[in-house]
A and B are shown apart, each in its own frame.
Chain A
Amino acid sequence: MAESNTLRPIYRLGDDLRPHEPIPRSHYLIIAAASTLSLLALWAGLSYTGIVQPTYFLPTPGQVLATASRMLLDGTLAVNAWASIFVIVTGWAVATVMAVPLGILMGSFKFFEALFEPVVNFVRYLPVSAMIPLLILYIGLGVEEKVAVIFIGTFFQLILLVADVAAHVPKDLLDSAYTLGASRRRVVTRVLIPATLPGVMDNLRITIGWAWTYLIVAELVAADKGLGIMILESQRGLRTDRIFVGLVTIGLLGFCSDYIFKMVHRVALPWSPRIR
């Protein structure tokens, strides 16, 4: 073996390009870092050299950092971020409290599927933005309207995702509980519901991510603070640096919520097959 190795190159790209094969962790980290750094480098290159004209189209990383630190210090970033977090978490939490039980019912009982599916499948294709006029009419321009946008954006999706999780609980799992003497009620409370928890957790994480994408829509109308309205107003003043700060903040907050959910999953459901 050794003699044929003398001409082997240190690294062959082909080794890392086999479908479904693992690659060394060090390679993974290097590739991930390279991708992030090239994106930053591209941004820096395009903005500092002034290739992109007019220059306010693309602020430099330095400008964005400076704006960010100024907004952090004077508190505007925190005020806006907090307003948005409040709207998103409230809308999403209300959606969760209602969608999870309904989804479990819908996925587990054909009766409830027949009851809810036509409505849910119809409403979920309606664009949330198209309902804003109605929402304003019904509940006004306050924070409730913004929470309602997030609620509508996530509720109907979540109910179907949870229904799918519940429908995929293996039948044999329920049947074994029956043969161990469990009543129908016990099978639901002691087997069906716990069995859905990992899938439900995953979908809660995914839908709160979607909630962030509805932020601009939610803050489109009559918002006085929030990251969405901050971005919208920055456009008027050609403040692309502030838009960038807003975008990066949303990205980071989404990243954090994802991380928090993964940690909660790990701590609350240590038995979950999705955790190694």
Chain B
Amino acid sequence: MRFRTRRGIEVVAVADLSLDVADREFISIVGPSGCGKSTLLRVVAGLVRPTTGDVRLDGRRVEGPGADRGMVFQSYTLFPWLTVQGNVEFGLRIKGMAATERTRLAQDYIEMIGLRDFANHYPKELSGGMMQRVAIARALANDPEVLLMDEPFGALDAQTRIIMQELLVNLWQRTPKTIVFVTHDIDEALFLSDRVYIMTARPGQIKQVLNVALPRPRSLEVTTSPVFVDLKRTVLSSIREESLKAISLTGTE
């Protein structure tokens, strides 16, 4: 994938990279900042067109954004003029689902994220964690083949983050989906995923893939287990190597 900047300098954001994600698998992508993790997700979502290469979903070539690939962003993207209920119903309404079915389905998801009492509240009345929960429910209710998550908890405080991670694992176990999760939080990646992809500095390539052989369902205690700590050490040194490369390349910091 290649991009041109405004000044005409060609930046290869993501180089030859191929990812195969199996059905109902939870994978994470970690890497040094600026390695193109988010770009990769946007390409998969169809929001950015790759210069070369393609994205295939079940063998079909992806041509643009679509409801089969849901996405949760780091920034708060709830529609401020819709209530929690309205936000969760947004995609279903576009699909043309009948009102009663739509309402019931949205209610189920709102229940699952524990916000039943807030169903008729506007986003401005919610906390950051609540808004991201609704964003996840909105994406899941739409029943995508793949759920893309671009640092969805990046803007939240450390305590809320952990609660959100547990909630996401729970949701995923109840409604299994293929999830591609981008983060720079290594604990988060290991705690959530079946596999962790480590990317190199720009131009981003896959440097290493780690299988996270931790039993499910996972609880927070898993993060102190020897296997987890071991994996974390591997990822840390791998990313550190890349971050150093990235810094010496740009000559900043």
Contact = CB atoms under 8 A, between A and B. Distances in A.
Interface of A: 170, 172-173, 175-182, 186, 190-191, 194-195, 197, 269-273
A215 B148 CA distance: 56
Interface stretch (B87-95, B110-118, B199-207, B216-224): B87-95
B50 interface: no
Contacts of A272: 80, 124
A159 to B, nearest CB: 23
B81 A179 contact: no
A180 B122 contact: no
Contact of B90 (A175, A177, A195, A273): A177
Interface stretch (B15-23, B70-78, B159-167, B189-197): B70-78
Interface of B: 42, 45-47, 64-67, 69-71, 73, 75, 77, 79-82, 90-91, 94-95, 122-124, 135, 138-139, 142, 144, 148
22 contacts: A172-B73, A172-B77, A175-B42, A175-B73, A176-B138, A177-B90, A178-B45, A178-B47, A178-B64, A179-B71, A180-B90, A180-B94, A180-B142, A181-B94, A191-B79, A195-B79, A269-B81, A271-B81, A271-B124, A272-B80, A273-B80, A273-B124
Given A194-B81, A271-B81, A273-B80, A176 B67 contact: no
A110 to B, nearest CB: 13
Contacts of A190: 94
B146 to A, nearest CB: 10
B47 A186 contact: no
Contacts of A195: 79-81
Nearest to A178: B65
Given A176-B71, A180-B139, A181-B95, A271 B47 contact: no
Given A181-B67, A194-B81, A176 B122 contact: no
Given A271-B122, A273-B124, A179 B79 contact: no
